[in-house]
Amino acid sequence: MHGTKITLNSLRALPPSPPSKTKVILWDLEIKGFGAYRTCAGTISFVYQYAMPGGKTQSLMLGRLGELTLDQARSMAADMAFARRRGVDPIAERKAKLKAAAAAEELNLGHYAVKYLERRDKQGNPLNKGQRAIVMRDVVGLLGETRMDRLTVTDVEDFAEKLAERGLSARRMGLVYLNTILNDAVRRDVISNNVATKVTINKAGERDRRLRDDELQRLLEAAADLGDCRGDIYEVLVRTLKRKEEISRMEWSELNIPKREWSLRASRTKGRVSHLIELPTQVMAIILRQQPDPKLRVGPVFTLDGGKTAPEMGSQVKNLLDAHIHQRLEAANERDGTAHSFAHYTIHDLRTTGASKLQEKPFLTTASLIDAILLHSNGKLVTRTYQRAALEIEAGEVLQRWNNWIDELMSADSAWPGGRDRMYIEAAADRARRVKALRKGWPMREDQKRAAARRAAKDAKDNSK
């Protein structure tokens, strides 16, 4: 159609273009190459048509009326006309922008981290729930919008500082998984270098806390007082000296019940090495009582919802355990006329306690065998299949002796103050009081310090009213 300044009135007057024929385009007089046409279905579309010097005529769809206003379409066409006059090909420029946007998305740390997790899932080597939480909550949550190729040492230092507010362990694990993701990006040639390596990762705090025999009694008594599978998990932790996630996420499919064997998959171990573990008879009995009906032994072994999911074993459950420890400790002190306390401990200290005792009489276990029981990765020990098999058999024998020793400990007169029946703590206020009493003098984590400061500030504000 002949040229005119395109207006809304002229757009309304546009006739439909015939189907499968040349479009009837209304060309604009002010901006050369800017036009509009109505499709056979009645939709009005804007177009920009141009030719670069020595090149053929090209058309670029700008959009439809409704998606764009007339003024927006005119402005887009004007920008493209100006670019063409500067020797810039509008279509090539648009393609370059789309390519740059795609590249920017690929370099986005949050996007890359999600893809990294998906690749591990497909490869059959997924991160466990706790590890995924660190990636998503800490790495993606704090640095997800940052481009990996623009990440600076200062960015990483700020990231580490924010995590340190929650504790040194949070800082260390956040940096570990940030490095893991960035190193993966370097291996895949997405980025050229990993700047996070320039920020020092604090070493895991080495603890030498060892529970006394009476403390071990109080803990096992408290585990029984919990009265559900979470207490059984704590008992199995003591009896097997394995990690909490390894026990709490145990599945029936991993067990060979007649042989008392547990096939722990590599994806569920810290060292990413599979293990065949011979279970003591006491542990097998605890496992089997979780589901007496063999036909229903599917999914997680330890569960609170009928076999659907494994229980959470976080700080709230630890609080319950500590409240019951205090209750049994109180009963023991009253019975014996003592004033024993319970020193600060972590669940990991159960492994340290067992490892220490296994080095002594009556066990006198070698360091290599203790490593095998704790599932510590040691390349020199596992290079040969027969070496691993021999260690697994010996580890099973030592664990059986360890469980027999625990039975003797819990059969002693010093055990079960207050009786063998389950002891209850009904009131939430009583639980909170007991936790506070047990932990008096214990070192506080950074998050606990902040919570205490908030409570103190609130109390001060309330008292000032």
Count how many residues are written for the chain: 465
Q: Are residues 137 and 256 in the same domain?
A: no
* Number of structural domains found in the chain: 3
Q: State the pLDDT at residue 1.
A: 59
Closest CA to 84 of 33, 47, 30, 29: 33
* Whether this model's pTM surpasses 0.75: no
- Tell me how crowded residue 66 is: count the other CB atoms within 10 A of its CB: 8
Give residue-wise pLDDT tens across range 103-127: 667 888 999 999 999 999 998 888 8
Identify whether 462 is part of a domain: no
Q: What pLDDT, on a 0 to 100 scale, did the predictor assign at position 74?
A: 92
59 within 8 A of 23, measured Cβ to Cβ = no
Q: Are residues 59 and 151 in the same domain?
A: no
Same domain for 322 and 426? yes
What value, to the nearest 5°, has the Cα angle with vertex 124 and ends 144 and 241? Answer: 90
Same domain, 221 and 247: yes
Closest CA to 267 of 114, 110, 129, 113: 129
CATH number (domain holding residue 408): 1.10.443
Element (H, E) at 442: none
Q: What is the pLDDT of residue 437?
A: 96
E strand spans, 77-188: none
For residue 9, which of 36, 47, 39, 48 has the smallest C-alpha distance?
Answer: 36
Same domain, 369 and 399: yes
pLDDT number for residue 206: 56
**Residue with token string 């908030």:** 454
Q: Are residues 178 and 272 in the same domain?
A: no
Instruction: Tell me: do 192 and 229 sit in the same domain.
Output: no
> Are 244 and 156 within one domain?
no
Same domain as 166, residue 225: no
Query: Which phi and psi angles does 264 have, rounded to 5°?
Result: -90, 115
Q: Would 398 be classed as within a structural domain?
A: yes
Q: Tell me, yes or no, whether 82 and 118 share the same domain.
A: no
> Domain containing 16: what range?
8-94
- Asked whether residue 3 is assigned to any structural domain, the reply reads no
The encoded tokens of residue 298 equal: 């599917």
What pLDDT shows up at residue 418?
A: 95
Low-confidence residues in the chain, pLDDT < 50? 379-386
Amino acid at 105: E
Cβ within 8 Å of residue 217, ≥6 positions away: 409, 410, 412, 414, 415, 416
Q: In the numeric block, which tokens belong to residue 430?
A: 């009583």
In a domain? residue 205: no
Closest to 406 (Cα-Cα) out of 229, 226, 241: 241
Looking at every residue in the chain, the average pLDDT score rounds to 88
- For residue 99, tell me if it sits in a domain: no
pLDDT at 382 (0 to 100) = 41
